[in-house]
Structures are given as structure tokens and as C-alpha cells.
Homo-oligomer: A and B are copies of this chain.
């Protein structure tokens, strides 16, 4: 059986995601499509609108064969670590290929640049050291350096999906037997679009806004099977965790905060100072934000504080996967896991128990905290069985 992997958040699942799955299947000729999906906390430092179970079910109903959970120490990370976590899971699952959406849409560009960045790592690092305090963004700096080597290159790294795609390509090439790589061009809805402007495609950001406002426009841009699984009562946003975050920052000493992952350069003093003034989460980030600390970077830091992810926790975790957490599968997906059983070296966990729970301690913690945000959210880990989707 041939397999193709995708690395996703599905926050929530929409027509663009369905198109991505269809194209991945078509391009790769795969029998099964495997999604590595972030759990309850996402790449930009936010809680997911709906929990991982609702989002996994949406995925299985719309074409995915297996959903595995991207651990929280990888899911709330900037592009490189996020990509390494996702690619590691796909490799562990013996995927033949993977496919991602990008603004660029040409595999060759990603391959070429990724290879150059790996082969010439030392030269790149040296050159980067020289420009890194120039004031422009990381992406812009990498791009400027690339332009010197490949004057004709058209890979615009300020486009978020191009940047993420390059991270996937790099992470994949680091393996002795890299997977085949496919990318599909994102045609419509830009990543940052905030309202639904098309009859079939819209950004997840615009869709979340419409769902919260209960606008009927979402009906044209999400599969019917996904819409059925939307439960407004269970929605959460950062504001649902603001009291807990505020409390945690207030009760922590500066020394406590310094233990938290990514806490450096004295930002802990700024957090403690501003938390007294802010009434809402949005106001808080607005007060803390400055030239050095972007909105997203502060949001991620806030997730680490909320979940008390310490430097020691994360550094120990990113060293390597210990097990694979399956959230759900179709019949086809189950057959694949059976067929590959002897080749997949890591334990595949479908039900948590005393023997395997230590593999997922940070995710279990994240699940408990996520549940506190809204009384309608069900327990996230213990006593949950994987979703088994039978094709109708």
C-alpha cells in the first residue's frame, strides 16, 4: 500500500483542505493519506477553536485515512521545529511521500533551496551571523542571502506556506531515505484573509470568524460533513484561558518564569509588569508586543506558560519521538497500520493506559488544561477511543 502524508491543523476543516487531500492522492498515487494533526494548541500560539477529536473526525469524514497527533512540544513552535516534528512522524509511519500547500507550487524550488541550505549550512550560518541584526525579518534575510546564490529564484519566503514548505523540505532531506515531496499551489484565499470572499474557498481565519458570528456564508466553504461536526458550545479562544494565564503569571516569580521554554532576554519582567494592567488577553499581548517580540512569538510563550512547559521538558522531548498517538482511522487506514506493523518501529498507541501514558505526559497535561477553558469540552485523553470511520 502506498501512503502520502500531510501536516495539518484543520482549525477547522474546510474546502481548501479537502482539495489538498484530493490533490495529494492524485499526485502521489497513494492508497492512504495520513494526517499529522496538531492537538489542542496550535502553531501560532493559540488554542484550537474545537478540540482534536472534533477536528480528527472532520478529517476522516472528508478523505483522510489516519489521523495521528502532533505532540504539543512540536505543534506550538516556529516553522523549523514544527516541520521537524511533523516530518518525523510521517517517516516513523513509513510514508512514501508527503504533500503540502504553498504559494509557490513548484517542488523543484523547494528541493533546490533546501539542499543548498543543508549542503552549505556552514557558509549560510556564517553569512547569516553577519546580517542577522540588520533589522529585517528572518525570512527576508534568508531570502536576500538566497538571491545571491540563485539570482533567478522565485521562492518568496515571506509567504507563510512557502516558508513552512521549505522547513518541511529541509527536515525531510535530513533523513537518509527522504520521502517523495509534492506541493500544490494555493490558488485562492490568502492565509491572512479575514473575511469569506469566495464561493468555495476561504482562509481558516475567515471561517473561524464566520462560525463564531454564526454566518451562513460558511456553508459554501466547508464540507457538509465538517459543518455537521461544528458545535458552537465547545468553541474556545485565548480569552477562555486568560484568567488562568493571568493567574499563572501573577503567581510565578521571575525565577519561575525563567524556567519556561523560550523565556529569555528579560521578557519575563515585561510579562509580570503588563499582566497587572491588562483586562483581556488581546489587550495583554498588545501591551507586551514590541519590535523584538512579535504577536505570534508572545502568544507561543503564553501557551508555554499556560501549560507550564519548561525548558527541560521541551528540550528533552524534541530529542526524539517515543510513540505515535492515533486519534482515528478509516478501514483503509487500519489496514495500512496492520500491513506496516513490523516496519513501524515506534509503539502505536490507540488507547492510553498505565504502560504508555508516560510517552504523552505533556499532551495529557495540555488536554486537561484545554478542557478547563469551557465546561462543554469532554475529557481529552483518558477513556477516549480512536475514531473509527466506516465509509458510507
Contacts and interface: CB of A to CB of B under 8 A. Distances in A.
A105 B5 CA distance: 80
A243 B372 contact: yes
Interface in A237-282: 243-244, 246-248, 250-252, 256, 276
A308 B368 contact: no
A150 B251 CA distance: 48
B243 A276 contact: no
Contact of A247 (B250, B256, B372): B372
A365 interface: yes
Nearest to A276: B368
Contacts of A369: 247, 250-251
Contacts of A247: 244, 247-248, 369, 372
Nearest to A243: B372
Contact of A365 (B251, B308, B372): B251
Contacts of A250: 365, 368-369, 372
A7 interface: no
Interface in A3-24: none
A276 B382 CA distance: 11
A360 to B, nearest CB: 14
B308 A246 contact: no
A307 interface: yes
A276 B306 CA distance: 18
Q: Main SS of chain A's interface residues?
A: helix
Nearest to A275: B368
A246 B243 CA distance: 13
Contact of A308 (B252, B276, B372): B252
Contacts of A256: 308
A365 B365 CA distance: 25
Contacts of A246: 372
Nearest to A307: B251
Interface in A343-366: 365
A180 to B, nearest CB: 41
A254 to B, nearest CB: 11
Nearest to A246: B372
A369 B250 CA distance: 7
Contacts of A276: 368
A379 to B, nearest CB: 8
Contacts of A365: 250-251
A365 B307 CA distance: 20
Interface in A64-113: none
A252 B246 CA distance: 16
Contacts of A252: 308
Interface of A: 243-244, 246-248, 250-252, 256, 276, 306-308, 365, 368-369, 372
Given A250-B369, A251-B308, A276-B368, 13 more contacts: A243-B243, A243-B244, A244-B244, A244-B247, A246-B372, A247-B247, A247-B248, A247-B369, A247-B372, A248-B251, A251-B307, A251-B369, A256-B308
What are the 10 A-B residue pairs with the smallest beta carbon separation, nearest first? A250-B368, A251-B308, A244-B247, A247-B372, A251-B369, A250-B369, A251-B365, A251-B307, A247-B369, A243-B372
5 contacts: A243-B243, A243-B244, A247-B372, A248-B248, A252-B308
